[in-house]
Structure 1
């Protein structure tokens, strides 16, 4: 028994481990080496380039170049094919080897016609047909030449795809982890071809390491990191806004005019002035205090004081690392009669947004400083510092009645537009419209009102002509209302499925006479609530006043209800059972759920 491939005894050609010679390199030795498949001489049937071609159907699992670089089962590289550089993909998912039709004209060989067309199934599910083949193309891999037969097909990402016909012929091994192909050469040597590797090896190095690399004459490039997340807004890019540049100054022009509302501080009967010693401040805070006092004096917002009142100053660090000056008016607030002017309910405000598609949000610049303090109450705002005793002429931050008074002012200013196309919450103004034409008119009318009232806004914090707006801790769009991801803590009052049951181990700890023991069930409930709060559902905005349906239910732990309109969820509500309600019968609990639901959804 003698092998006809290596001419050695002891095995047949079927089990020969010697690399078979390419067809172009196998000499014609007569009829004994004729192919039983195609009848030609110079190769055997198992190495026939036309085997399975005529009338056959093949497949090529071609992928994009970027995907191939990251795919561990394929290897990509660039080598010479007939003295032309070609981008090559070693793909074990391709049955044959293929060449891009656009690259095929660079090959030196002429295409040979096939007896029948060959159909190729592409990766995108489509099929392509070819009726020719390029036989004996020269492929140069790391200085070694190989012969390869290629079929032209329309490939987008590569010039050549080497498939299983060539890989199995040369007994190639694809080493996935190393992104390499190993070939066994006829002289018992092994050729390893390393492919392109993903560019995930980039890492940050220190300045010392960089200097060492430069001393070794490594190639270096100077790069710059640019934050492109936020575009620079320009007032000239918004047609409605460019006509009102005076509303968006860099700084407030000075003392505000006399308005229909002034800030007044009414004290409880028998109150006497309170003065506290200044707090100890760090050197950086002292420097910031001096700078802030000079700024406020220059604008006329504060003035030297001889008042018997005096509150201390403290500083709070902002997100950007700078300091915000705050006056500790807690003692004054204790003696102040509270202003009961109502702030609007947030859910009532959102009800006005039904059908809105376009939004603009205006944020007033230092809104409190645009309202004067009643002259007789100016001494009560006095504060004490190392640099002197001062009092505010404009409304300062930190006073208990400041939000209510400013809300009163903004309601009077925007009264003609409220519940039509404007929502006001303290110093935030939201303009909403159904169409572009309406929004252009609404925006101009609001800007004209601000100009006539001499109210000023901060352009960098304003947003115009947007389809999704962040307002009062929520994101509002034509799709509905959902939680602002940046303020996930603001959703605690919204519906969380099974909230009562999940939170029961936590709420039990707050009951009178119960020891505060934090055990595994409390920790589990706490973690479950955190996950639930971060995945709160999206609520739809109501459309009109019809087709509302209320669903309610009761259990032995709580009451719950859902308000829906035409299959969309508008609102959820639920609460735990009170102590006496635990003893209710089933029908009493169900009736209690109905009463609870109607109280919540009565509007």
Structure 2
């Protein structure tokens, strides 16, 4: 999957990222005033994203004092203070760096993570500045034509990127909105209480006018199944399903493939291979909603709730006599 290095989204690459810093047009070509990369500072209770300026002329790594104060980042005094001057040897700000932050969890882009300390200065335009020490340590490959960081050094692949596959995503807030037991449903879902009933899942519902009929092609023979070996957990799941009435014994020669798929919670999800039956079923074409159109309705959403009904989807019910 090709993702934008700057914002992590798909559909474009970093040079054309809509969130990239502004550039000027000179003679029909883009002129980048500075090289900025997205970085994240991880604190004890939050994760803050800010743009960082890569400056090979800076002798140290810097952070804006206003940002330090706003986030409550711990600092300690520099002994002795460090003199700081501009390219014309004139002092910058007060002319001295008097304090330094503690080591912070610091991430560049999506996966490059390290612990880094910053000297505190006044730099509201560029709240984080990665200087020559940072460039020397990581030795990244930079495309000055496109104004982006292209590749990390081999040392970073072993030191800073080794956990990129297993690193969990950070979220702003995850909490259980309400217990999932039937007796503690929110009032808004009270009318659907039966959907979460463990008793109802043990049997099929009564036939209704909206039951779906499965009509077979004329002279079609139902497919035959095969016997598959089961593991010990699968055998126990089958015994439980027989006991509660989800399945029943049958001597019919017609059958469909049945297997289990592991669930995230360690359980087993029963799946049935109906492809053989589908080949002899009278097709009834009707429009289905497009997945992108369905996902579009969630765009801009902030609060998402996960509810789990009992395994009702496995209780397929044919029309009367099916």
TM-score past 0.5 threshold: no
Q: TM-score, normalised by structure 1?
A: 0.23
Larger-gyration structure (1/2): 1
Q: TM-score, normalised by structure 2?
A: 0.40
- Pick 1 or 2: higher relative contact order, CA cutoff 8 A, min separation 6: 2
